[in-house]
Structure formats: structure tokens, C-alpha cells
Amino acid sequence: DTGVSQDPRHKITKRGQNVTFRCDPISEHNRLYWYRQTLGQGPEFLTYFQNEAQLEKSRLLSDRFSAERPKGSFSTLEIQRTEQGDSAMYLCASSRTGAADTQYFGPGTRLTVL
Amino acid sequence: QKEVEQNSGPLSVPEGAIASLNCTYSDRVSQSFFWYRQYSGKSPELIMSIYSNGDKEDGRFTAQLNKASQYVSLLIRDSQPSDSATYLCAVNGYGGSQGNLIFGKGTKLSVKP
């Protein structure tokens, strides 16, 4: 199996700019999750897709955040008008239906907002 | 508010010793429990999953679950310096087969040669 991949691995941007991250799940996995992790904290759930449907969104996901999974394969997470508080590691995970939420994580995208 | 609690550590053990990591959770309907290992600057790596009360062993790792006490633990036998990492406990967010994981803040383990 090819694991979960994320692109880019690092992103530095200026406050107010828009950024977009991509996640490619494990090929047979139909569920895809986005999490955010800051220093000293565990990952915090942002949103979740089953196939192309976005089934759940955390209240952490403000109006500046949007996620898509248009064909049920890869997903994108866009942050508009970035703020310094958005600086974090953005993690993508995938799982398979019936696998009891066994989620496998990608390498993450580290975002720094200056 | 569903919560997962872990001692942040650091937990320091000598090489070859048993490391014991503990986790409690607040949501009684949780059914799936996971331990992830995270090296500094890297993403979480799945080590163990456990769904039923009792022990589950995989190599040097043993996960223990007690749903009545809402307690899950991870034992690492014959600890090695390469085991030095942060260990994250994660719990299924809902009492079903879908949904997000809720993570603790992690326990930092240091294995001294």
C-alpha cells in the first residue's frame, strides 16, 4: 500500500494570504479526515469525508476554512485570509469503512503564517 | 465535552525497562481505542488498536482496556532508546463505526541508554 500523502510538506505565508493543501488517501480508503495539531497538543478534528460527501465539520472550522473531496479521491483544504493563529501542522488521515475508525496519517503540512 | 486525559510526562525509563502509559476518557459510549506514536516533527503512527476489555499484545507492546473504569493503557516491554517519542491516546468520538478521533495531549517518553 502507498500511504497517505500530503502536499506541500511546508508552507510559509504572510497574514491575509490564501493557502491550499492537498491530501491523497490510501487508495482503497473511502474515508478521509483533516486534523490540526499545535505544539504540545494532540491532533484536533476539523472535518471528515466519506467518499465525496462531507459528513462532519468541527466548530474549529471557521468560515475561512473550506474542504472538498470532489471525486471521492484526493481532498483539498483551503484557508482564506490566513491569521497567525492558523500556524499549525495540518494532518490528513484516511480509513476504510468497517475498519472501526483505524485511521492512518499522512506526513502533514506545516503552515507558518508570518 | 468529550475528553481524553493523559499525563504529559516526561516519563523517563532506563533501557530494557517496562514503560507504562495511561489514558482516561470521558465518553462511556466510546468503542474504539488507539495508541499512536509521534516522533518530534513527524506525524502520528498507529501502534495499537483495542476494542474489547482486557489485554491485547503485539510484540513488545500490550494495550489494556477497562471500559468500566474508562481507562486504557499501553505497556512497552524491553524499552529501547528508539521508543523515545510522544505517545498519543485516541478514542473514537462516537459510539459507532464512523466519526472523528479525540486525542489526548500525549505523554512524552524518554528511554535512557
Q: Write out pLDDT tens, residues A60-72.
A: 888 999 999 998 8
Share of chain A above pLDDT 70, in %: 96
The answer to whether A36 touches A88, Cβ cutoff 8 Å, is yes
Residues of A in contact with B4 (CB under 8 A): 42
B43 part of contact set with chain A, CB < 8 Å: yes
**Any idea how long chain A is?**
114
What are the backbone angles phi and psi of residue A105, rounded to the nearest 5°?
Answer: -95, 145
Residue B90 confidence (pLDDT) above 80: yes
Contact assignment for B90 to A42 by CB distance below 8 Å: yes
Task: Spell B7-26 as b/e; 16+ CB within 10 A means b.
Answer: eeeebebeeeeebebbbbbe
What are the backbone angles phi and psi of residue B50, rounded to the nearest 5°?
Answer: -150, 140
How confident is residue A100, by pLDDT bands cut at 50, 70 and 90? Answer: low
- The Cα-based distances of B1 to A30, A78, A112, B24, B26 in angstroms read 28, 27, 29, 14, 8
| Predicted confidence (pLDDT) per residue in B3-48, tens digit | 899 988 899 999 999 999 999 998 888 888 999 999 999 999 999 9
Mean pLDDT of B83-102: 80
Contact assignment for A50 to B4 by CB distance below 8 Å: no
Burial of B68 (0-12, 13-18, 19+ CB in 10 A): exposed
Contact assignment for A56 to B4 by CB distance below 8 Å: no
